[in-house]
Chain A
């Protein structure tokens, strides 16, 4: 078993890192979610009080629903934009593949925070969008919903997350052998039928991955909403952050966090189930 021992040794640094900086903290938080916060401090116990507290105030469910709504819309827009790009890169503009992948990489070079600030400028009353619209005469007064609103959050997150949604979709499209497309054509499928029956189902795993990626990140984001979200853009990430900040209610924060985790897992599975229903609808 020497080979296996070598593998274990090589994986140890990674496992150690993950254990200390991921699994252990996650586990600690999970324990906290069953504790109580009192005026004297944290009381280790086992209670579902924190989870139930989520429903005690209208604020929390509303914020959760808003976060999911914003996250979902962002993810859907990301996927809808990414798919045609990934598709044309794979099947039509093959020579551009390297260039686009480099561009996606380059977008990583600038800090996330700086880009959100940039969007704050672009979307503002004196930002470039309003300036152009004013200049060509479409509007008189600047559009105010562009900034400090859920719309601003969606726009900003879409632009930040789309490059990364392109990657898994692109990868799964690449894995479709040209043989399969030709076989479909040969058997009588025109371009649309081939896409709907062969290409799309085979690329679904990539689409789902891209969706999961953009959905989870945007639902839980707490930086972008703070900068461009305004008062209507309060998302659950901010509330969780406060529990570990000013409010000092770690049990409740942990409960919120884990509630969101389970909720997202549930919703993602619903999404996957829906996509498989759509594919199998026409059984022949």
Chain B
């Protein structure tokens, strides 16, 4: 790519894609604009249609209706082997009867590229995924992480316009998965290839994506940057699928100019006016665990929402701790805080049964109608 790429160039346009398998709707009216060089995650629970959509892009499924445009031209009439995109499979799909070199070079061999050129490219790919010297190994001699990196090299050697990744890290151990997440992101930034990444792991999506497409039952729920989707989920589903939230059910008591007063089990909560509601409407509130502050002797700040409660449970997570605080008969709020200093050092240990005060701002309370 030469010259300056205009920031908002759309490489890839998906328009109203629908796909049904018999009576099951896999994908419904899916539309998305993907920019060149973007890292997009398709995030959602199992069965939400994200893999089906990826397979439609790859050419393994045909949509019932809708369009997929690359640089303005439809790629749907092209069979899979003619499309300028490559896929990294969840279970690697390395050819077991070929060596690592032959696996990676396969696409070049099909294009009848000269030997020397192919050899150079394969070596470049192997150093990109940090597996130099592995050329003559066979797939059954590789570990999971190594297989995944070879699968990646095999797809990237083709210099595709778009790389499709189908939960590529799903079969790996946690530590290796986290390491690969960073590596993948680095490779993507280095090569500036558009990545479309399918995952059900919301943490993975938050770490790697430029934008997240949150899906549920075949439909798009929200499309946003990780930060915005985390802080401003537009639905109860988004608030609970991504990160953790306290979810409460209440009734709109009073509508003020820029905030709402909501009754929850006899308590009053104050939230920003982000939903169109009338007084008396049933409404859901979501508050992120880390936004709930536990007030101690040192806290001078006052909060829009302040409650007194009793600690029902304390759960230790290594670098953080969760307090389960009951503030009324039916309402328990979970507060998560990072452990900065051992409380026992400060002489301020909080135990089960202790009374404690909590507070959080109105802007940290997201409201949804359903």
Contacts and interface: CB of A to CB of B under 8 A. Distances in A.
Contacts of A201: 97
Interface in A169-208: 177, 179-180, 182-190, 193, 197-198, 201-202
B241 interface: no
A182 B95 contact: no
B158 A188 contact: yes
Nearest to A183: B93
B105 interface: yes
Interface stretch (B79-87, B128-136, B177-185, B290-298): B79-87
Interface in A221-269: none
B60 interface: yes
B115 A186 contact: no
A91 interface: no
Given A284-B102, A284-B118, A187 B110 contact: yes
A180 B94 CA distance: 7
B213 interface: no
Interface in B68-114: 79-82, 86-87, 89, 91, 93, 95-97, 102, 105-111
Given A188-B110, A189-B110, A201-B97, A179 B89 contact: yes
B110 A182 contact: no
Interface in A144-183: 177, 179-180, 182-183
Given A198-B95, A202-B97, A284-B115, A185 B109 contact: no
Nearest to B83: A186
Contacts of B86: 186-187
Nearest to A197: B106
Interface string B42-81: 0000000000000000111000000000000000000111
Given A185-B79, A186-B81, 14 more contacts: A179-B91, A182-B89, A183-B87, A185-B81, A186-B59, A186-B80, A187-B81, A187-B106, A187-B154, A187-B155, A188-B82, A188-B110, A284-B108, A284-B115
5 contacts: A183-B93, A184-B95, A184-B106, A186-B86, A188-B107
